[in-house]
Amino acid sequence: MRKFVSPARNLAFGLAGTFLFAAALVVAPPQAVGKADQIKAQSWSFSAPFGMYDRGQLQRGYKVYKQVCAACHGLRLVRFRNLGEPGGPEFSAAAVKALAAEAEVQDGPNDDGEMFTRSGRPSDAFVSPFANVNAARAANNGAYPPDLSVMAKARVGGPDYLYALLTGYKKAPGDMKVGEGMSYNPVFTGGQIAMASPLDADSVEYTDGTPQILENYAKDVSAFLMWTAEPKLEERHKLGFRFMIYLFILAGFLYMAKRRVWARLKH
């Protein structure tokens, strides 16, 4: 005779499987691109499943981006006001206004039909360093510096990849010919990259006592770019935690219901 399995039991097992699958998706780290031995997993405060951004690190990372990266790379999807929103660097309203005012934003047309330049406002997006792609290529020997708004999500490995890339510049092996205007970086696909090493020790001044070394600069700006790519990460982690608690409670209720309904059934 075929053994009868209760629907409640099937549902409980199904929910348990769903929970384990969802937990695996949240916890499992992404696989890095390029040479795996060149990309090491770093310790991040925002790592899943319950991590949160380090506000001080994001503020330092913004400073590194502004003083080093912003000369070539834009953040067109980020607005100055985002710097003061919960879950991010959380600069004060006055600081956000001051940071925005440092930017020159093209606006218009005015009453005469002409475009004009004004100081930035918190509602403005970050100003791109070049007017267009052709201008960017012309200023960088034909190479186009990509926008960094979502770079930490566009590259598999995320901030680990960015950190490895920024700290991975080396002297090329003797049997390798590096092209003119290129630098050797084994982390980058092909081993040659048009961007020269952008970071050096003591190139950016930290005011909070953090050592001004290459590794800290690379880690801070990688964390900042992770935030620009996923500004709602903390909310997602909180939602995921609540969802897992809900599944635990629901599975418990279903198990107790199964025991009560089928307790008198002879197996």
Domain contains 12 = yes
Q: What is the mean pLDDT of residues 130-144?
A: 93
Which of 88-97, 211-220, 249-258 shows the lowest per-residue confidence on average (mean pLDDT)?
Answer: 249-258
Question: Of all residues in the chain, what percent are helix, strand and coil, respectively (each to 5)?
Answer: 45, 5, 50
62 close to 83: Cβ distance less than 8 angstroms:
yes
The verdict on residue 51 lying in a domain is yes
User: Does 144 fall in a domain?
Assistant: yes
Mean pLDDT on 62-91: 97
Among the listed ranges 16-25, 59-68, 194-203, which one has the minimum average pLDDT value? 16-25
Yes or no: say if 132 and 82 are a contact pair by the CB < 8 Å rule.
Answer: no
Residue 207 lies in a domain: yes
Looking up tokens 């950016």, which residue turns up? 204
Which structural domain range is residue 171 located in? 8-78+126-261
Residues 210-236: what's their mean pLDDT?
96
What local confidence, expressed as pLDDT, does residue 241 receive? Answer: 76
CA 217, distance to chain mean position in Å, is: 15
In a domain, 92, yes or no: no
Q: Would you tell me the crossing angle of helices 158-166 and 214-229 to the nearest 10 degrees?
A: 150
Residue 119 is which amino acid? S
What's the pLDDT tens digit per position in 164-174? 999 999 999 98
Segment 19-52, tens digit of pLDDT: 444 444 444 444 334 455 679 999 999 998 889 9
Per the domain annotation, does 98 fall within a domain? no
Q: Contact at 8 Å (CB) between 136 and 91?
A: no
Across the chain, what does the average pLDDT equal? 87
- Retrieve residue 235's tokens: 């909310």
How many distinct structural domains can be found in the chain?
1
Q: Does residue 3 lie in a domain region?
A: no
Q: Does some domain include residue 118?
A: no
CATH of residue 144 = 1.10.760.10
Is the predicted pLDDT of residue 82 greater than 90, yes or no?
yes
Residue 53 has pLDDT above 80, yes or no: yes
Q: What is the pLDDT of residue 36?
A: 54
- Helix (DSSP H) and strand (DSSP E) numbers for the chain: 8, 4
pLDDT at 267: 63
